[in-house]
Amino acid sequence: MAGNSYGNLFKLTTFGESHGEALGGSIDGCPPGIALDFEAIQMEMERRKPGQSSIVTQRKEADEVQFLSGIFEGKTTGTPIGFIIPNTNQKSDDYAHIKDSYRPSHADYVYEKKYGIRDYRGGGRSSARETACRVVAGAIAKQVIANVKINAFVSSVGEIFIDKPYQDLDFSKIESNPVRCPDEATASKMEDYIKEIKKQGDTVGGTITCVIQNVPIGLGEPVFNKLHAELGKAMLSINAVKGFEFGSGFCGAKMRGSEHNDLYNADGTTKTNLSGGIQGGISNGMDIYFRIAFKPVATLIQKQEALTTSGEIIESQGKGRHDPCVVPRAVPIVEAMAALVLADFYLLNKIYQ
């Protein structure tokens, strides 16, 4: 209820604040007998962690996951996989200046109003550091649905965007640049722009597109738990996300039915795919694709107004090491959440077989 679990049959439960001793969690319901690829898990952690390049925050965090249970001789046993990620580089003094104030567009204010108490160190539970646990679980979920291919990438930064359909992109290029944009010319422009923004102590938003291929037909439950509704919830639960659209998305709202309907081929595939691989909440075997909007990071290395706990407006300035643009580091998080959603529906679907 309190919202620190995701999924039903493949269920992730997490805990941890940015500046406590450790983050961690458990994965309940992972099928037994899977020989885990631990390198693949750690590689996803590396993709998310700070300090990878000059365009992301220079904080150093080891982000090493320690598995504590549920694995025996390298294989999952069917019992819960417990894990922790120690916080090794928390500098709480960086945050002393925010103890008595609420930063604009952060969660400080609402946490204090909701709970009557707040761990003011670096955002506490509302810090995006929490997503490290999602990446661990997502990396395992990917191994549960091994045939499914999930590729997320940065499709826009500010006003700069990839002007091609995803079919024309080479996903193997995603990791070839620090922006995680598979179109190299666009990536280069984005990188320059982020550096410029960073120099100004400002931040910028962007979008991520995610393409999921090789999905079996039949995933998703109609009515309230439609596949795209769960994907939407999963994506909207990621820090800084403001919007989600799949298939034709907001453009589809401008179209006519005669343009929008996806006509069938004789084999049940469709000639077009404005549906985005989902009909009535159930996967139809075509590519699933969706786009997610991220707002600009709220912490600026500029002066801006803040509200004190005693009700005064003061000037404040972000310290520490923050991301000028969050989307490059959010790519593995998007993939992780997609994998969690799919693994859950994949297991549920076994009941119909």
**Least separation, in Å, of the C-beta of 95 and a second copy?**
12
Beta carbons within 10 angstroms of residue 277's beta carbon: 26
Beta carbons within 10 angstroms of residue 124's beta carbon: 20
Nearest CB to a second copy, comparing residues 139 and 330:
330
Coil/strand/helix, residue 294? strand
Nearest CB to a second copy, comparing residues 170 and 346:
346
CA-to-CA separations, 299 to 12, 192, 194, 211, 332, in angstroms, rounded = 29, 20, 15, 30, 22
- 88 near a second copy, rule: CB under 8 A: no
> 43: alpha, beta or left, given left = phi > 0 and alpha = psi -120 to 50?
alpha
**Least separation, in Å, of the C-beta of 162 and a second copy?**
13
Q: Is 239 annotated as a binding residue?
A: yes
Residue written as tokens 């929490």? Answer: 130
Q: Is 295 annotated as a binding residue?
A: yes
* Among the listed residues 51, 202, 287, 320, the single contact to a second copy using CB under 8 A: 202
**Least separation, in Å, of the C-beta of 173 and a second copy?**
22
* Among the listed residues 102, 141, 338, 339, the single contact to a second copy using CB under 8 A: 102
- 197 near a second copy, rule: CB under 8 A: yes
* Among the listed residues 24, 138, 328, 332, the single contact to a second copy using CB under 8 A: 24
Coil/strand/helix, residue 252? helix
* Among the listed residues 26, 143, 177, 209, the single contact to a second copy using CB under 8 A: 26
**Least separation, in Å, of the C-beta of 37 and a second copy?**
17
**Least separation, in Å, of the C-beta of 290 and a second copy?**
9
Task: Give CA–CA dist 185/105, Å, rounded.
Answer: 33
* Among the listed residues 54, 58, 66, 88, the single contact to a second copy using CB under 8 A: 66
Overall size of the chain counted in residues: 353
Size of the site for a second copy (CB under 8 A): 146
Nearest CB to a second copy, comparing residues 57 and 283:
283
Read off φ and ψ for residue 195, nearest 5 degrees. -60, -40
Taking residues 227 to 256 in sequence order and writing x for each that binds a second copy by CB under 8 A, - otherwise, the string is: -xxx-xxx-xx-x--xxxxxxxxx-xxxxx
Instruction: Please report, as a single letter, which amino acid is at residue 168.
Output: D
DSSP H or E run through 143: helix 131-144
Task: State in Å, rounded, how far the first CA of the chain is from the last one.
Answer: 31
Q: Is 349 annotated as a binding residue?
A: no
* Among the listed residues 91, 176, 199, 268, the single contact to a second copy using CB under 8 A: 268
Nearest CB to a second copy, comparing residues 296 and 332:
296
Nearest CB to a second copy, comparing residues 2 and 172:
2
What sign results for the dihedral spanned by CA atoms 219, 225, 229, 233?
A: negative
What are the residues whose beta carbons fall under 8 Å from the beta carbon of 93, sequence distance 6 or more? Answer: none
- 320 near a second copy, rule: CB under 8 A: no
Q: Is 125 annotated as a binding residue?
A: yes
Nearest to 322 by CA among 90, 9, 59: 59
Nearest to 193 by CA among 40, 329, 328: 328
**Least separation, in Å, of the C-beta of 249 and a second copy?**
4
Q: How far is CA 275 from the centre of its chain?
A: 23
* Among the listed residues 81, 136, 145, 339, the single contact to a second copy using CB under 8 A: 81
Binding segment for a second copy (CB under 8 A), chosen from 42-50, 172-180, 260-268, 328-336, is 260-268
